[in-house]
Structure 1
Amino acid sequence: MTATTSARAASAPDVPVPRPRPAAPEAAAGHVTGQAWRALRYFAAYRVLIAAFLLGIGLTGLTPGHELRWLPQLYLGTAAAWLAATVAAAWLAARRRPRLELQLSLAVLVDVAALTLLAFATGGVRGGLALLVIISVGAGSVLASRRQSLGFAALASLSVLAGEVYAQAAGWSAGPTAYSQAGLLGATCFAGALLVNWLAERLRATEALAERRGIDLANLAQLNETIVQRLEAGVVVVDAEGRVRLANSAAWRILGMPAGGMEGRPLREVSPELGERYAAWRRDPTAAPEPLRTGDGGEYDVRCVPLGAGERAGTALFLEDTAAIVQRAHQMKLAALGRLTASIAHEIRNPLGAISHAAQLLAESEALTGPDRRLADIVVAQAGRMNTIVENVLQLSRGGPGQPEPVELRPWLEDFAAEFARAAHLGEGELTVAAEDGLVVRADPSHLHQVLWNLCQNAADHGRGADGRLRIALRAGRPAGAAGGAVIEVCDEGPGIPPEEAERVFEPFYTTRADGSGLGLYLARELCEVNGAHLTLLPNPRGGCCFRISFPPARLEG
């Protein structure tokens, strides 16, 4: 999509283009660690609340003594110590020191020990407080690895079982069901730890995938927006209600730089002309919208592309400078022409060489009469000229700079005029030369010869005045009011060229004659450009054509 556009639709200023990239592993890990610290703080808050609640009911005596035993001193001491430990753990979790794995392991270890003692003080497994161990093990398994989770479950099971063994040894056994209840509690800890850990791993994997997808989508959206903003064509995206959802800087400039921006406003309010074309396209999507003409004289081709299917789908409107489209087509045409001319010129050289060689041999024949020898010399001379033209075409297709040398215009133009008058059988006064003395330019003489030959030939073919007489003026000098430089003009008194066709005459293959090739003026202009000059068609109110070759001051000698 790179193409030269007019100043009206110049591309947006260069801005850095973001390169979408996946998040770095350390960045992703840091984000997960932040989530983990947040979860650890929630766990610490829960522990503080539970410890405070158990200490409170112990101080108020709301916890009834079990029929087997009630150890208030052990209960209150354990609850108070556990509360102090949970408060300290919450403070450490807020500071994120020491590392999370160590804090988590200490928290579960303290919980299991405290809850085991509290359960022992209130009647063992049957007291109910031992069930809180399952919550602590499950909460720790959320943040721990699978091996750690199994370790927490094993620690909890062994602690509860050890409490029951101690109670049995002390004669405080709650009966044969105590061991089965302790075993069931241990099995529940293992099952809960494994289940919670598996769910937590799945949740973390899903969250990490969603985060990566979010980063990719954000990068893609930013890249798409940058591409749209850098497009040389104007882009306007509207929704089903006709409101502008996106517009790049080129569209903003094309539409006259509306104050207040464009996004969120109705398209008819931003640009009534573009709104009318969009509405017409909505009524008949098969009809191409009319070109959009702006106040600065620009003309833009409007293309509407639906974004999705259905009545609620949006539409993208592309505004392309018609001048840029024509220029791109012209460049493609020139590229094809370069290949074509190079191929033709290459094929012509072989038969041309044979003709030239045969004419030279013929001219050396002693049986040739004087007039026939003159004709043979003409064949040799014209074959040489055609070979020079072929060389120029090949050089032009290769982009060669030519072989410039100083050319004094007055004597050179006089010799050229005499040669052309003889070849074109011009009468006296039909080709005149007027040139300043001492004016020297740097140019390739063969290039200049071919350019002027084409221009004079055009004048001879089309330059007869209303009275039927041919008058071609060949002038060279310094233009009045110009800051240096030199010009060569070829003017006639014919019917001239209409203004609307003035620029098209330099296009390749453009001709008004059935037997014309349409390459003469194109090659003439290209040869001028190779020599640092510029060929133009001057407006002539009095009629006739006047072609001017302009040489910049840098191409002058002396």
Structure 2
Amino acid sequence: MAVEQASMADNSVRKPSDVQQVKLFRIYNHYRLVVSLMLMGLLFLDPANFDTRFRLLDYYQAGVAGYLGLNTFIAFTILAGFKPSQRHITLSILLDILVMHWLLFTSTGITNGLANLVIVSVAAGNILTPSRLGTFYAALAAICSLSISSWAVLTLGESGDDIVRAGSLGILYFATAFALQYISRRMMRSEALASSRAQSIAELEQINQQIIQRMRTGILVLDRYGQIRLVNAAAEELLFGAPSDDPVRLGAARILPQPLKLGLESWIKDPTRRIEPFQPFQTSPVLQANFTQLDQNRGDQILVFIEDMSKVTQQAQQMKLASLGRLTAGIAHEIRNPLGAISHAAQLMEESPHLDQGDHQMLDIIRRHSRRVNGIVENVLDLSRRRAAHTDLTEVRPWLEEFRADYLQTQDEESAQSIIDLTVDSDVPFARFDKSQIEQVMVNLCDNGLRYSHQQTGERKISLHAGATVDGERAYVEVRDVGPGIAPEHHSSVFEPFFTTDKSGTGLGLYLARELCEANQAHLSLVEDDLSGCCFRITFAHPGRLI
């Protein structure tokens, strides 16, 4: 098997490609056509002296005319698109050698300058077919030359120098054949090696492109002016929300998001500076960009790595929980115990018969604020007790339908008239999350939506909507109410801890909801649009990403 593979490899090296062989044969046929035209022209140059110099003039003229006709015919067939095979090339070389010796035989013999053209034919044969067949061309040419010289010496009484000259020509034929075979083999090996390396480089480039395209880290190549030269699918998704048909090339049509462009400008001024995390659009996750120069000397192109901060944020949340766990132990003892004493004292004072109306109002204030402080403590304790996310790959539609049914069943009599409209787009991808934690977020959003809808319209109504992001690879769920909405100046503060516009609220609901989403590498955002009410969107991580 090894011998067969070696033989096949050697044959692949020795044989030029079909395209190259056709090109070389076309060039050689042009040469033959020019030679035949020159020979035909010489017939009319000095026809008076041909009888004394040529042995068989009529046969010589017939040979020249036939050679011209043959080469003209081959030229027209190649021009018409005919691609000669190896058999046609071999036959053409053999005919050239025989025709040239026929012209030598019918003219002045081996001393004629046409003998030099035989060398060209042998050389062309060894270039077009650098194999043992090239040696056969040299042997045929040498035999023909020796035969013509021997016939002239024996029949016409020519000098024996013709045989010596024929032998010298034979040696020259073989030397030409061996030299060109060696050179051709070296060239073919070099070409095969170059072709193999080019193919390896092309395959490696293709593999690199596939790796880059499948990476979840965004990669961009920019110039100093922020023009995109190269971008992978992850960067398209993170920065623009949807990949192009050909992200590697068509990304140049994209405009760099303003936060990233400003970060690039500041990094160019100070390469040691690290830009702040940013969001390219409203519902995107928080991203971090890192810059480096591709060419340290010129610095024309800049490589940018775009990382989704969800994983980093998740790790930060785990560290935050560990710190909160230690803090809440003191909170439970230092705050809840005094708070319990205050609440108990207020209850005892309320039983006194000597209280007037103002005293009852003061006790009501104490009870309400005690409950609010207790709610804050409970929320903080719940946050510190939260376990790590245990995610499952979940189909969104059945899960959302089940959640809606369970949520409506848990409503009390006062809230029994709650209306929750549910719409799910087709082809919503799977999502990976911890059901108990995301359902806790959904309960918080639904409670808020129903409450504010009731305050605005007197009707407890919200709508749930599930769909896919623009790239079609990530799922999202929206909760929209018909309430008064959130004032534009408060949009940047709704997820901050202890921020609330409700006097009875603790200001931790949305903060805890975003914390739970980030623990699942999901992103909770406020959707800013022209519709009435308020809309919150949970955008889940790519289902292929392990949490």
TM-score range, shorter chain: 0.5 to 0.7
Do 1:243 and 1:265's aligned partners in 2 also have CA atoms closer than 8 Å? Answer: no
Distance 1:323 1:53 in 2: 81
Change (3 A) 1:292 1:67: farther
Distance 1:210 1:234 in 2: 34
**Aligned pairs, how many?**
370
Matches within 5 A, 1:26-175: 32-61=17-46, 65=50, 69-87=54-72, 89=74, 95-96=82-83, 99-100=85-86, 102-171=87-156, 173=158, 175=159
Change (3 A) 1:248 1:262: closer
Quick one: which amino acid aligns to residue 88 of structure 2?
Q
The aligned residue for residue 194 of structure 1 is: 178
Question: Per-residue CA shift, 1:140-172, capped at 9, x if unaligned?
Answer: 101224311111111111111111111112225
The aligned residue for residue 325 of structure 1 is: 312
Do 1:464 and 1:493's aligned partners in 2 also have CA atoms closer than 8 Å? Answer: no
The aligned residue for residue 271 of structure 2 is: 285
Matches within 5 A, 1:148-547: 148-171=133-156, 173=158, 175-239=159-223, 242-256=226-240, 270-296=256-282, 298-312=285-299, 314-327=301-314, 462=336, 465=339, 468-469=342-343, 493=371, 495-496=373-374, 510=384, 520-522=385-387, 534-535=439-440, 541-542=503-504
Structure 2: which 5+ runs fail to align? 1-7, 323-327, 346-368, 392-433, 449-501, 513-547
- Greater Rg by CA: 1
Secondary structure of the structure 2 residue equivalent to 1:236: strand
Question: Per-residue CA shift, 1:467-513, capped at 9, x if unaligned?
Answer: 71269xxxxxxxxxxxxxxxxxxx982525769x96x8656xx4xxx
Distance 1:139 1:525 in 2: 75
Distance 1:269 1:546 in 2: 38
Q: What is the deviation of 1:251?
A: 2.9
Secondary structure of the structure 1 residue equivalent to 2:373: coil
Do 2:226 and 2:256's aligned partners in 1 also have CA atoms closer than 8 Å? Answer: no
Do 2:141 and 2:173's aligned partners in 1 also have CA atoms closer than 8 Å? Answer: yes
So what's the TM-score if we normalise by structure 1? 0.54
Secondary structure of the structure 2 residue equivalent to 1:124: coil
Distance 1:106 1:239 in 2: 59
Question: Per-residue CA shift, 1:102-155, capped at 9, x if unaligned?
Answer: 223322221111111212333223220110000011001012243111111111
Secondary structure of the structure 2 residue equivalent to 1:238: strand
Change (3 A) 1:330 1:154: farther
So what's the TM-score if we normalise by structure 2? 0.55
Change (3 A) 1:316 1:53: same
Give the percent of matched residue pairs that are identical in Structure 1 and Structure 2.
23
Q: What is the deviation of 1:263?
A: 6.5
Do 1:66 and 1:123's aligned partners in 2 also have CA atoms closer than 8 Å? Answer: no
Quick one: which amino acid aligns to residue 522 of structure 1?
R
Do 1:493 and 1:545's aligned partners in 2 also have CA atoms closer than 8 Å? Answer: no
Distance 1:135 1:525 in 2: 81
Change (3 A) 1:104 1:459: same
Change (3 A) 1:462 1:54: farther
Quick one: which amino acid aligns to residue 186 of structure 2?
R
CA RMSD after TM alignment: 4.9
Q: What is the deviation of 1:223?
A: 2.9
Do 2:51 and 2:57's aligned partners in 1 also have CA atoms closer than 8 Å? Answer: no
Secondary structure of the structure 2 residue equivalent to 1:116: helix
Q: What is the deviation of 1:184?
A: 1.9
